[in-house]
Amino acid sequence: MSERAAVTALGLMSGTSLDGIDAAIVRTDGERIADIGPAETIAYEPAFRGRLRGLLGRLDDDEETAEVARELTDLHARAVRTLLARAGARTGDVRLIGFHGHTVAHQPAKRITRQIGDGAHLARMTGITVVDDFRSRDVAGAGEGAPLAPLFHAALARDLEKPLCVLNLGGVANVTYIAENGDVLAFDTGPGNALLDDWMGRRAGTAYDAGGRLAASGHVNHDALATLLQAPYFDRPPPKSLDRDAFGSGKLGELASADGAATLAAFTVEAVIRGTSFFPQAARRWLVCGGGRRNETLMRGLADSLKVAVEPVEAVGWLGDALEAQAFAFLAVRSLYGLPISLPSTTGVERPLAGGTMHRP
């Protein structure tokens, strides 16, 4: 470890898949990981998930937004209490909370990124200092504001063989490429699970395609896939990032449910493959986190196209469901010590930049 003291932090993440809150405990000095603690996932009730979904893309601070943001914060406070109880820990055992909030709009080209959630209220509710607002300073500094987990990925992968890729298949997919010398390149590759989840909700009345089984039973419509891949985003060099709803599935027309699922799964895979053209050297291994690692159709498609090992992060002992929450615990500690949380090669910010706003209880 460095000369800085290791700090126990608790990270919270409400991701673009809208499924719930991930909470995790990490002990770190902001550079090396001293210990990985327990983690917990608290699912959103369907009614709240619907209200949260209704805010996506909204930029105004109206009464509805304030109500949902307050409820979201209260749910995060409950997640903190649940995890502390599971860990047998007290409030005083945790120095910091890294609170991401929930992204409702992300338009970095317009210098806009918006995460709802009240860090000051969370600090009062938990009695623990909270760090939030991780993205806005980066966007104000000409960065993309995302992805922010790459420095944590690099810390976890310190002793693994490289070049290595860590692929997060959340609602949006993002990749961290770690070179042999430890340099990091990161960007959003394109859609992760969001389009497929939305398709399943409309066509099958389910939250997601469990195991990728519906997609596996269908046939890819290559004309529709080609149209989706014409988006200018895929030709833009990284760093680059996306809003959850940057791509629509309207181009799928009246495809059968299984064929639409197959086409959207292929879209996610092909977007990742397109992203590899920006790597300085092919990765020797891919480690996958996020809910998409459980989609066998996505994992099989990636392995078939990349021709190298594509494995869930559990293959190296990481906690796939907790990785983003752990990342925000790690970033909270970096914020505490004034260390950069984003780099020119991860978000396109002009220089390595610290971030986050601290709220004391």
Q: For residue 326, what is the DSSP state? A: H
Looking at the structure, tell me whether residues 290 and 346 fall in a common domain.
no
Is pLDDT at 72 greater than 60 in this prediction? yes
Rounded average pLDDT over 311-327: 96
The pTM (predicted TM-score) of the whole model is 0.93
E strands of the chain, at which residues?
A: 7-14, 20-28, 33-43, 96-99, 102-107, 112-116, 129-132, 164-169, 172-178, 184-191, 285-289, 309-312, 357-359
Distance from C-alpha of 196 to C-alpha of 171, rounded to nearest angstrom: 9
Instruction: Provide, rounded to the nearest whole percent, the portion of the chain with pLDDT above 70.
Output: 99
CA 228 to chain centre: 22
Looking at the structure, tell me whether residues 174 and 187 fall in a common domain.
yes
CA 40 to chain centre: 16
Question: β-strand 7-14 against 20-28: which pairing, if any?
Answer: antiparallel
Looking at the structure, tell me whether residues 65 and 141 fall in a common domain.
yes
Looking at the structure, tell me whether residues 114 and 246 fall in a common domain.
no
Looking at the structure, tell me whether residues 119 and 179 fall in a common domain.
no
Would you state the pLDDT for residue 248? 74
Rounded average pLDDT over 6-16: 95
What confidence tens digit (pLDDT) does each residue in 201-246 have? 999 999 899 999 999 999 999 999 999 999 999 999 999 998 888 8
- Does residue 2 lie in a domain region? no
Distance from C-alpha of 69 to C-alpha of 63, rounded to nearest angstrom: 10
Distance from C-alpha of 177 to C-alpha of 256, rounded to nearest angstrom: 36
Looking at the structure, tell me whether residues 118 and 161 fall in a common domain.
no
Q: Which domain holds residue 20?
A: 7-145+322-359
Would you state the pLDDT for residue 249? 65
Would you state the pLDDT for residue 39? 97
Looking at the structure, tell me whether residues 168 and 76 fall in a common domain.
no
Looking at the structure, tell me whether residues 130 and 262 fall in a common domain.
no
